């Protein structure tokens, strides 16, 4: 079971989905070091977009990511797109460093529109 704040949930295929559920499955792949999933609006509704940090000397294999997620989760949870990124945008905080999902969402929208 994956717990998330309601604001972190994505409505995919009519269901509320915790991005952490998708992220953990993507991170099972040996060439992926970390993953963050954001939702972006499309003509069909919200779509999941994954950003991954690759392990050194690795390359992104998008079809393999899609196959792996589809083999473990429902089809509507498979990220529409997967992008490699060097580092996640973060904000240092008093208790922890926080990943800026809003900036990832903006980046996803820019990459999808260009």
DSSP-derived 3-state class of residue 97: strand
105 and 40 in contact (C-beta within 8 Å)? yes
- Beta carbons within 10 angstroms of residue 82's beta carbon: 23
Cβ–Cβ < 8 Å for 20, 53 = no
Decide if pLDDT at 2 tops 50.
no
pLDDT digits (tens, 9 = 90+) for 87-101: 999 998 788 888 999
| Whole-number Å distance between alpha carbons of 30 and 16 | 28
Q: How is domain 6-113 classified at the CATH fold level? A: GMP Synthetase; Chain A, domain 3 (3.30.300)
Question: pTM, whole model, 2 decimals?
Answer: 0.90
Q: Which residues contact 97 (CB under 8 A, 6 or more apart)?
A: 90, 91
Q: Mean pLDDT score of the chain, rounded to an integer?
A: 92
Cβ–Cβ < 8 Å for 50, 62 = no
**Greatest C-alpha distance within the chain:** 39
CA distances from 54 to 1, 3, 88 (A): 26, 25, 12
pLDDT in tens, 66-90: 999 999 999 999 999 999 999 999 9
């Amino acid at each position: 079971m994956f717990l998330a704040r309601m604001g972190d949930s994505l409505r995919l295929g009519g269901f509320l989905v915790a991005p952490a559920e998708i992220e953990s499955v993507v991170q099972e792949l040996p060439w992926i070091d970390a993953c963050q999933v954001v939702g972006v609006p499309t003509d069909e509704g919200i779509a999941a977009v994954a950003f991954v940090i690759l392990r050194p000397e690795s390359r992104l294999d998008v079809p393999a990511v899609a196959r792996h997620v589809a083999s473990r989760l429902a089809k509507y949870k498979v990220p529409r797109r997967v992008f490699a990124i060097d580092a996640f945008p973060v904000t240092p905080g008093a208790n922890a460093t926080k990943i800026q999902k809003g900036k990832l969402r903006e980046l996803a929208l820019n990459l999808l529109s260009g």
